[in-house]
Amino acid sequence: MLQIDIAGESLTLLAERALWWPAQSTLLIADAHFGKGLTFRARGVAVPSGTSDDTMDRLAALLERTGAARVVFLGDLLHAREARQPALMATLAGLRAPGVEWVLVRGNHDVHAGVPAELGLTVVDEPWLMAPFALCHHPDARPGHYVLAGHVHPALRVEAGGDRLRLPCFVFGPDVGLLPAFGSFTGHMSLEPAAGVRCFVAAADRVLEVPHASARRRGRA
């Protein structure tokens, strides 16, 4: 857990790869990709089950711990149409306590997968405005708001003292912030940190800020 101030609001970065906004009792989760393994299996690629359970368990634990009144999924909640399998949908729906609002900002995968009504989600197109933030799936700048988005699955290569690791990360630029992908079965894209951008890696049970002089040595001309 790590507190930072973004756009005048205090946000908590969670090592579970989610973002907690205490003032609004809101939990932000990007790119859960539920049912991805299932999609692979249905199309003839033998990926074992359990990845969605894993993601589900972490979501349940987070809901319990934060007692969030609102959850906003920043897109790509389901991986594909095949993910809409009744048992999975029932488990997911079961996580929603009465009175808790669940919002899905539609992502590119949700467009193809569709969102079953039984999940009781409020489905919106980006941007979902909660001043001072614009909650989006795609990280496009929205003048007048600070954008919090997913889609990229950011990761950072950290290299120092003869050691090197690639870790999912939070990234906060001047007007756009990226959340790491929440799903257990998701790939990552390595980013090059740039000046004026803060990066926080999620390493097991901790969140750590990585100074941007960090990572890869190349890039220094």
Binding site for other proteins (CB under 8 A): 37-51, 54, 79-80, 82, 85, 109, 112, 139-141, 152, 154, 158-165, 167, 171, 173-176, 178, 184-187, 189, 191-192, 194-197, 201, 203-206, 208-211, 213-214, 218-219
Min dist CB 98 to other proteins, Å, is: 30
Of 8 and 162, CB closest to other proteins:
162
Min dist CB 28 to other proteins, Å, is: 18
Of 48 and 98, CB closest to other proteins:
48
Pairing of strands 176-178, 206-210: unpaired
Q: Name the one residue in this structure whose structure tokens are 């409020």.
A: 122
d(CA 103, CA 115): 12
Of 59 and 202, CB closest to other proteins:
202
Of 27 and 167, CB closest to other proteins:
167
Query: What's 34's DSSP letter?
Result: B
Tokens standing for 69? 């009144």
Other Cβ atoms closer than 10 A to 152:
18
d(CA 96, CA 119): 8
Per the CB < 8 A criterion, the answer to whether 83 and 35 are in contact is yes
Min dist CB 97 to other proteins, Å, is: 27
